[in-house]
Each structure stands twice: as structure tokens, then as C-alpha cells.
Chains A and B, each alone.
Chain A
């Protein structure tokens, strides 16, 4: 998120954020640290590792479970 125009601006729109230019600039600045950390994470090859989150389509059917 190094610029507040061009392709990155569409990132806000894709994300459904209707923001003023001032807010976009503030978020873009704050997001730099996140982006740096995400870039480090993306370097890992985790192709064969399933995600940790648990998929439980049976949840609404468990006693007391909520959908």
C-alpha cells in the first residue's frame, strides 16, 4: 500500500471501503507494516499444510450448537 492512487486504490474499492482521501492515506501508511509482515509470510511454501481452522458443517446439529 505504498501509493494512494493507481491499482492500489482499487484495493479499497474491492474491500468495500468508501473512504475519504485523508482516511485512505492514513490507512495506507498504517498498512505498510502489515504488508511487510505479510510479504514475509508469503515467502513460506505451505502447499501441503492444511489450514488450522476447523471446518464443522455439523455444528448446528451438535447439542447446543449454533449456526
Chain B
């Protein structure tokens, strides 16, 4: 459609929408056309908003009248199906099993509407955000492969251009994993930065809300639209907000980049390892100072994330456990929820003690570095219904491997972002993960933007075919 910039980013679209060179109605129609063409195969959406066209027309009227609300005005954005909305049902991937969620707007939905965004629909989540495959959604880069999860629908929808951006949630990596596997940007800001009010809980102390976008600047724009103290979320924090979008172009010369050589590089597919090592070399060539370090405590982290996530999930689903509704959950999710009852209180609290120690160790590291980089996932998108794949010469469960490099930053609450950094031999996207000290999203976004600007990975688009 004429008038739509090839990049299809907020960064590129906002100026042409504001200038009247493109109508929000035409932009929305283009997204809906792509949904009609491709979503039969990708299954990224579970619902489309009936009145999105009305909203786009209203945005058009406002823009014509010169009432520009900001860079999200007229931008089609999708929400993961665990964000409550007053105008669309929310199912958390579990429709028709006897659980009803309120028809009210989540904090994020409210903020996006206020910013003039067009909420185009709801994207598929792995049921209750508890898994990394998001069936039956498929990966736009290869429809026989998974999109990752649990925000797999959001990542697939953004990668396929069916919306300009989307929101996801991240408890152990659920924004960054699908972002990595689908070749888009995924940002989990510091715990407490973005209110989770109205997002179906999975694990209260690990859950984060955040954006999936086509470029780093768009992630910064959405972050800016969503941050702020919200007393409705007990985890929300009242901290100063910087205009991250204005600082993206600051050079990274002299910035100190840490590389944790244990855990994050213990066992990765060769294509992932090569792409990430190349990215680290490129960051060094751009003037960053690279410092290798080791964090032995990471060897103990899996038990901690298991204990907290399983126990929290069982607590949240207690009513479903009592009433037998779990029998209608997807089998993998049912097993996880039931297992949560077996985690002892002592193990749960030990996990929380571990978390404290890990956060302290990272704080020590951040005396010497400004950000930490590494792979987002040790593997690229794997074929659907494949329980295990070869990683570094050994067969490994894809579920165990997929969150290994992301969950440490849920335990510590640090901001972390995945940005595309290449493709493997099969043409599957690879993600570079950049993490920062709490509330220093600026450093994370600067490094990601500097890397993205010097490479054209984000310009690549999947060759989509209609169903």
C-alpha cells in the first residue's frame, strides 16, 4: 500500500501519520489485510477488535485537526491475550474451561489508548503464560517451527507485519525468547517499571510487562508510553523516567560491556555462539570496552526459578486446583501447576535467599561494567512437536534450554532486551541479549541501538506465504 514506509516501524510511521501523508485507517487496513493473508497459517491472533476501524477513523480525524497525541497516535498495536481489555475477551489461552476474566482495561491497555494507539487485537499466549512454544502459533520465518513463548503470538504478529508492535509478558523469558526466535526486539524493563495491573498473574515476583517491536527505537517509545508508578500494582515503583528515545544515538565509545563466560556460554548451538561472538567483536570495534567475567552462583539458579515459578503458579491457580478445573488445562500446564504444590516452603524461601545473593553478585559486577551481553537463547527456533534438539553435541530438552539464559534476569529484576544479531544456517533468527543494572534501561537501549544501527538484521523480513 502506498504511503507506508518499508520499515513499518513506529519510528518511520509516526512522522508520516502526523504529517497526514498516511492515514491511520489505511495503515490499519494494511495490517488487517496481512492478518487475512497470513494468520491462517501463523495463528498469532486469537481475536481482532471489532471497533479498531472506528478507532482508526477517530485517530484520523484528530490528526487532521492537528491534535497529535504522540508517536503512538494511529499505530496498530496488539496485546497478548493475558492483558485485560474492556472491549475484547481475555482468555489467557484457556477459553471455555470455566474461568472468566473481567472486561476491564489493564493499565497498559489504558495507557496505549490514551496515547492514541489502535488496539488491533489479542495475540496468542502459551496457556497462562506457562511455556515456550505457544501452540498453535507458528514462526513466520519457517511455519514448521515454533515462535517461542509464552508471548509467541505477539512476536509472530510483529515479525509478520500484522501489527506494528505488540505487548507481551515475561516471567522467565517470555518476551525475549519469542523475540529472539522470531527476529524482533523484545524488552523486559526493570521489575516495577511497567505496571502489571490487569495482566493475568503467573508468578507475582517474576512477572514483567513489556513490548515486542521491529526496532530498538520503537521499544524505547513504548517503554516511555508505559512507565510510571501505579498503586494498583504492588510491585510498581516510583522512579524518575528519562526520555530514552532522545538518548539512543549517544555513542557507546568507552561504555563497559561485560560478558559472563560461564552459564551464558556453557552450551549453545554453534550458529548462536558464532553470531553472538561476532556481535561482541563489533561492539568492541565500536569503542566499547569488553570485560569477561564469571558468576559461579548461576550454576544454582534453575532450582530457584523452578521453586518460585512453580509455587507461585500453584498459588495463583489454587481455586482451579481445588475445583478440578485444572483437568481442563493443557496437559503440560496442568502438570506444572500441580507440581507447584510439591515445592516446600523451605525451598521457596531458599530460592528467595538465592535471589538476594544473585542480585548482590550482579551489583558487584555492575561496579565494573555498564551492561552485560550474551545470547538470548542457546538455540534457534526448533521444529514443532520436537521435545529435544542437539545443542553443542548433546541432546537437550528444548523447554529446559529455551529459558536458561533469560531467567537469571527475572530472578534479579534487571532490565534485559533481545535484539536480532544474525541468522543460523537454516535461516532462523538469533538474538543478542543485553542486560543492565536496575533502572538503567538507558544503557541497555543505547547499546542495542548502536548495534542495530551498524547492522541490517532488523531490515530482513520473512518470506510469508498465504495459507
Contacts and interface: CB of A to CB of B under 8 A. Distances in A.
Q: Tell me whether chain B's interface is mostly helix, strand or loop, or mixed.
A: helix
A63 B232 CA distance: 10
B306 A34 contact: yes
Given A17-B341, A33-B400, A46-B353, A41 B231 contact: no
Interface residues on B, range: 20 to 34
A59 to B, nearest CB: 6
Contact of B339 (A27, A42, A46, A65): A27
B300 A30 contact: no
B335 A52 contact: no
Interface in A22-67: 23, 26-27, 30-31, 33-34, 37-44, 46, 49-53, 56, 59, 62-66
A59 B302 contact: no
Contact of B335 (A26, A38, A50): A26
A41 B342 contact: no
Given A15-B342, A40-B300, A41-B300, A30 B355 contact: no
Nearest 7 interchain pairs by C-beta: A64-B231, A41-B303, A51-B352, A15-B341, A37-B303, A52-B355, A37-B302
B319 interface: no
Contacts of B255: none
Interface residues of A, number: 35
Contacts of B364: none
Given A11-B342, A17-B341, A40 B299 contact: yes
A37 B306 contact: yes
A12 B341 CA distance: 8
B356 interface: yes
Interface stretch (B168-176, B241-249, B343-351): B343-351
A43 B350 CA distance: 11
Nearest to A31: B339
A27 B335 contact: yes
B339 A52 contact: no
B230 to A, nearest CB: 8
Given A27-B335, A40-B303, A59-B234, A1 B342 contact: yes
Given A44-B300, A52-B356, A38 B339 contact: no
Contact of A41 (B341, B354, B356): B354
Interface of A: 1, 11-12, 15-17, 19, 23, 26-27, 30-31, 33-34, 37-44, 46, 49-53, 56, 59, 62-66
A30 B341 CA distance: 13
30 contacts: A11-B342, A17-B341, A19-B338, A23-B338, A26-B335, A27-B335, A27-B338, A30-B335, A30-B336, A31-B342, A33-B397, A33-B400, A37-B302, A38-B306, A38-B307, A38-B343, A39-B303, A41-B304, A41-B347, A41-B350, A41-B351, A44-B350, A44-B357, A49-B356, A51-B353, A51-B356, A52-B205, A52-B353, A59-B234, A64-B231
A1 B344 CA distance: 13
B359 interface: yes
B163 interface: no
B338 A17 contact: yes
A38 B336 CA distance: 15
Nearest to B303: A41
A39 to B, nearest CB: 7
Contacts of B335: 26-27, 30
Nearest to A15: B341
B356 A42 contact: no
Contact of A51 (B302, B303, B355): B355
Contacts of B184: none
A49 B357 contact: yes
B447 interface: no
B310 interface: yes
B234 A51 contact: no
Nearest to A46: B353
Contact of A38 (B232, B303, B356, B359): B303
Interface string B282-319: 00000000000000000110111011001000000000
Contacts of B303: 34, 37-42
Interface in B333-381: 335-336, 338-339, 341-343, 347, 349-357, 359
B350 A46 contact: yes
